[in-house]
Chains A and B, each alone.
Chain A
Amino acid sequence: MNFLAKLIKSRLRNRFILPISALLVASTFVISGYLLQRQSEGFRRELETSGETMIRMLAINAESGVLFESEYVLDELLQVLTPFESVECALVSNADGLILSSTDKNEPPIILHSDGHLHVDNNDIHKEYIINEEGEELLMLTTSVVTRKGTISRESLGITGQVPTDELDKQQTEVIGHITICLSLEYVNQAISEGRLAVIILALFVLVVGIIIIAIIVNAVTKPITELVEVTDQVRQGDFSRKAGMDRTDELGHLARTFNLMIDSLQQSRDEIEKYNRTLEEKIIQRTEQLEDAQAQLVQSEKLSAIGQLAAGVAHELNNPLGGILGYAQFTIEKLRKNNPKKTTSKEINSYLKYVGDIEAQARRCKTIVQNLLKFSRSSRSVDFEDVDLNKVIKETITFVEHQLKINQIEIECTFTENLETVQGNYGQLQQVFTNLIINAMHASESGQTIRVQSRFSPPVGEFSGAVEILFIDEGHGVAPENMKKIFEPFFTTKEIGKGTGLGLSVSYGIIRDHGGEIQISSELGQGTTFTIVLPVQKNSPTADKQKIISEST
């Protein structure tokens, strides 16, 4: 059943053909059956009618033969039946059931009735279908043979008024015997069989023709639909080349035309989307390039900003000793001009010596600052890695920023581990990172607070060859937990717009990564922040690794 249901549901054609065919077959069977039944009944009725006519004729003519029980007369009478092939047998009996004449002389008489005695009223005909010993179906008709009694008057019966004629007849007649004839149904059955064959042939013909017509009609409906489905499949797979047939003027033709229009607009839309996609991709590439350029520029500007911060610090650092030099030089010159060499006291000479000594000391200070600056400037241009003493880098970085720290009233406290292992690094780049971290710490701190800078050595463990750790600890406002992850992202800043590029830590992160190290951050809101820079110590400093670092940093 499931299979049949599936078969029906699988295709539109099946949905039509199978149920309609089933209906056609069923109705053909019902109609044929009905026709055959009617035909069979008709034949039997006809046989019965002719049998009744026959037996009535015999009954009338058998009166004298039965009255006199004359076999001869009755044989003669039964001879009349000979031409009728359908008459299987006939017999006449008297009122006691004794057979007076039979068409079958040699064979024993057939059992007419179960009790061997049959009483049939006047004018009645008893009909019965029986099956003989040979298995043939027979129609057995029995009627009574009657004779008239003496004349009876209406008065003798005590009847007044009108009396029905048959009532009178009954009163006046007497059953004197019976006639029975058996009619074979062979001919009738043969005719029925022939008729049935004809009906079956006709039914089959109607069935076949009907199914063919249904198939043609259903095909006419489903074929364009199937074609449409195929086109839909192709469109789904992205093939817009095939179009649905449009040579019909009915609803399906309309559907096909509408569908074709839909394919056209779909193709147009797809082409537009593809075109748009291509443009979009080009734009993305273009914008990405622009962004990369902008980022490179910003990284450069961050570098310049770091240098700018240094320059401001340097200006502050330089201007005081320069002011000292200029002032003492002018003062000394003025004093010497006014001085009378012959009256110069040793006290005055000592004053001059102090002035000139101050000039020398301040000039040296200027020299140191300029040298540091040059070193930074030179090394920030180069990408060369060398052995770097991190304590020294920090100390020199602090000389640039200490004045700014001082004027912001922030103390800086250094705790260095002496004789620290050197690391492979770029002096200027590391100085840029340290400057950035100290300036950030300064911005996070309030006046009166202290920034602590510590250096220490992590001894080698297993394959780890040891590292130098530099800690920058401030007591400032700390970093909000939600900003901890973003803090090294480019362009992330909590400073006001225009105050920070948001690249300082990002660039620092890049530089430390290029050095094979890492920056760690730990912070508590309101308590302060600690940045820890870990730089690996490479005692043997393999050349290959060095090359790698250089190539990454370029």
Chain B
Amino acid sequence: MARILIIDDSPVIRSLLTDFLSDLGHDVESRDNGLDGIKRAKEIDFDLCICDTHLPRANGFDVVNDLAHSRPDIKLIFTDSLPDQLSEKIQQIGDYPCLRKPFELSQLKKVLNSMLKGIETR
């Protein structure tokens, strides 16, 4: 049981991840742009954030740049459609797992499990 924040501008991805992760028993919230995402992450003590690379208002890099300092304990998973300069910049900040869209749910589950190991035992 973990608190998860989803930041993605695609309604269908937000909907899918909310449905899927809720079904797994997690407490899920979502935002459709980077700025709102950062704001929400500072309000609530989330365990994990699944964030898209290309976002309106503040992109994935802005999100990680902010949260890495303001919320260093939050774990981050990125998603993207095509590898580009922004993905590279994010990887320069930290070795965050990245899921390439369209990703398999099994793949997400695997990454999620490895990242939430500590949280499950907490």
Q: A319-B101, A358-B12, A407-B54 are in contact. Are A327 and B20 (CB under 8 A)?
A: yes
Does A248 make an interface contact (CB < 8 A)?
Answer: no
- A323 CA to B13 CA, complexed, in Å: 7
Closest Cβ of chain A: how far from B9's Cβ, in Å? 6
A245 proximal to B (CB < 8 A): no
Residues in chain B near residue A330, CB distance under 8 A = 104-106
List the B side residues contacting A323 at CB < 8 Å.
10, 12-13, 16, 79, 101-103
- A409: Cβ under 8 A from any B Cβ: yes
B23 touches A407 (CB 8 A): no
Does A392 touch B at the CB level, under 8 Å?
Answer: no
Does A327 lie within 8 Å of B102, measured CB to CB?
A: yes
Instruction: Name the one of B55, B56, B105 contacting A327, with C-beta atoms under 8 angstroms.
Output: B105
Majority secondary structure, B binding face: loop
Asked if B105 and A331 make an inter-chain contact with CB atoms under 8 angstroms apart, the answer reads yes
| Residues of A in contact with B, size category | 20 to 34
Residues of B55-96 whose CB lies within 8 A of A: 55-59, 79, 81-82
A278 at the B interface (CB under 8 A): no
Residues of A within 8 A of B10 (CB): 320-321, 323-324
Q: Are B55 and A358 in contact (CB under 8 A)?
A: no
Q: Is the CB of A321 within 8 A of B12?
A: yes
Q: Does B113 sit within 8 A of A, measured CB to CB?
A: no
Q: Answer whether residue A533 sits at the interface, using C-beta atoms and an 8 A cutoff.
A: no
Report the bound CA distance from A330 to B57 in whole Å.
31
Q: How far is the CA of A330 from the CA of B107 in the complex (A)?
A: 11
Is A197 located at the chain interface by the 8 A CB criterion? no
Q: B20 contacts A325, CB within 8 Å? A: no
How many angstroms between the C-alpha atoms of A312 and B23 in the bound complex? 33
Report how far A358 CA is from B10 CA in the complex, Å. 13
Establish whether residues A406 and B102, one from each chain, have CB atoms under 8 Å apart when the complex forms: no
Cβ distance B4 to chain A, nearest Cβ, rounded Å:
15
Nearest-Cβ distance from residue A315 to partner chain B, whole angstroms: 5
Which chain A residue shows the least CB distance to B108? Answer: A327
**In the complex, what residue of chain A is closest to B20 when comparing beta carbons?**
A331
Q: Complex: how many Å from CA A107 to CA B16?
A: 176
User: B12, B13, B55 — which one has the most chain A CB atoms within 10 A of its CB?
Assistant: B12
Give the distance to chain A from B81, nearest Cβ to Cβ, in Å: 4
Q: Which residue in chain B gives the minimum CB-CB distance to A406? A: B56
Q: Which residues of A contact B (CB under 8 A)?
A: 312, 315-316, 319-328, 330-331, 334-335, 351, 355, 358, 361-362, 403, 406-407, 409
**New A-B contacts (16) at CB < 8 Å, excluding given A316-B54, A321-B10, A324-B13:** A320-B12, A320-B101, A321-B12, A323-B13, A323-B102, A324-B102, A327-B17, A327-B105, A328-B19, A330-B104, A331-B19, A331-B105, A355-B19, A358-B12, A358-B16, A406-B54
Listed by A's residue number, 19 A-B pairs whose Cβ atoms lie within 8 Å are: A315-B81, A315-B82, A316-B81, A320-B12, A322-B101, A323-B16, A323-B103, A324-B13, A325-B102, A326-B103, A326-B104, A326-B105, A327-B17, A327-B20, A327-B103, A361-B12, A403-B54, A407-B59, A409-B58
